[in-house]
Amino acid sequence: MDSFAKTVFSAIQPSGTITIGNYFGAIKNWVELQNKHNCIFALADLHTITVMQDPAKLKRNTLEAYALLLACGINVEKSLFFIQSHVNTHAQLSWILDCYTQFGELSRMTQFKDKSKKHVDNINCGLFSYPVLMVADILLYQADMVPIGLDQKQHLELTRTVAERFNFLYGETFKVPEAYIPKNGARIMSLQDPCKKMSKSDENLNSWVAILDSSDNIIKKFKRAVTDSESCVRYDESKPGISNLITIYSCATGKSFDEIEKEFDGVGYGIFKEAIGECIAENLSAVQHRFSEFIQDKSYLEKCYKESAERALCLSDKTLKNVIEKIGFVK
Ligand code: AQP
């Protein structure tokens, strides 16, 4: 690894089929960042069990997510890319940092409030302390930069607070990381309720587009996307439906909002929705093709995630040992 480059850490939960929200908000940036920085990426399966999972499905989702991220361009020659539960230091540091995070701080996390409403029958302690595990994930690698979508901003702020608190108590231990939020695509909204973010665990299958959806399905989902009753293709925050579609089209094509408005001047929403569907389907077809190759080669996947996990363990163990020393545990 280049010792002058920055260290970047980010993770994604294998909690379902990965959406274009995850893609434009996170993965696409990860792929670009790998060319300049020392990147460490993980599949956050420990985070995933904060919500009840079917074991067979979780296993399948994890392997598929691994293959899919390779297909999107995560390159294990350049970056570390491992499965979080394979690296024990994450759970160990998380417990320690639980003791340096206040109940009040975690109570204010909007993701906890949202998920508690969604899973009323399973408001478990892991769901509550999820942000601390994310703090540990990041601080273990002394990350400078954490690429995230806007939904994770509050968790990143908590990471900074906990790092500063620990450093204040015990002297410089953790690097205080910065968030890296994309200018465009930081918050892709649901196609059925554009006031809600697009989420892979949303039960309404028309609300999200998965990277692995068939072309027909992608085109159908965009045709069904909820918009307002007007028909002028114009970005306007008071019209979240059409504005979300413009954002998605802009992420996929690299065109500015102005260029898109000109391109679709005088045509109705119907034609625009069809154009986005076709464009996204075309954009994703190469990724889908590569995915179908990676997913068949289980021994290659295993080699990649095992090697990365070994290297991640070595790196993160340095931080953990330092923390253990500072808090007074006998080595
Ligand atoms: N809709 C989104 N727009 C932009 N970025 C997004 N991200 C997630 N949804 C959007 C970013 O994707 C990365 C990985 O997210 P995650 O899987 O760790 O957790 P999440 O944010 O909870 O994603 P989901 O899809 O909503 O998962 P579920 O449904 O399981 O809760 C993060 O960087 C996130 O910001």
Domains of the chain, residue spans? 7-186+298-327, 205-292
Q: Which CATH superfamily is domain 7-186+298-327 in?
A: HUPs (3.40.50.620)
Please state which CATH number belongs to domain 205-292: 1.10.240.10
Mean confidence (pLDDT) of the chain: 95
For 98-130, what is each residue's pLDDT tens digit? 999 999 999 999 999 999 998 999 999 999 999
The arithmetic mean of pLDDT across residues 235-246, rounded, is 94
Supply the pTM of this predicted model. Answer: 0.93
Q: What are phi and psi of 10, to 5 degrees?
A: -155, 160
For 125-142, what is each residue's pLDDT tens digit? 999 999 999 999 999 999
CA–centroid distance, residue 30 to ligand 1 (Å): 14
DSSP 262-326: HHTTT--HHHHHHHHHHHHHHHHHHHHHHHHHHTT-HHHHHHHHHHHHHHHHHHHHHHHHHHHHH
Q: What are phi and psi of 210, to 5 degrees?
A: -85, 150
Q: Is the pLDDT of residue 228 over 80?
A: yes
pLDDT (0 to 100) of residue 185: 76
Beta bridge partners of 83: 43
E strands of the chain, at which residues? 7-12, 38-43, 80-83, 145-147, 178-180
- Two domains, one topology: 7-186+298-327 and 205-292: no
Catalytic annotation, residues: 115, 197, 200
Q: Is the pLDDT of residue 189 over 90?
A: yes
User: Is residue 160 within 6 Å of ligand 1 at its C-beta?
Assistant: no
Confidence band of 172 (pLDDT split at 50, 70, 90) = very high
pLDDT (0 to 100) of residue 4: 67
User: Is residue 281 within 6 Å of ligand 1 at its C-beta?
Assistant: no
The arithmetic mean of pLDDT across residues 160-170, rounded, is 98
CA–centroid distance, residue 150 to ligand 1 (Å): 9
Taking the CA of residue 111 as reference, the ligand 1 atom at the shortest distance is 22
Do 152 and 180 meet the contact criterion of CB atoms below 8 Å apart? no
* Six-digit token string for 116: 């508690």
Taking the CA of residue 115 as reference, the ligand 1 atom at the shortest distance is 31
User: Is residue 44 within 6 Å of ligand 1 at its C-beta?
Assistant: yes
Q: How far is residue 211's CA from residue 20's CA, in Å, rounded to a whole number?
A: 6
Q: What are phi and psi of 249, to 5 degrees?
A: -65, -40
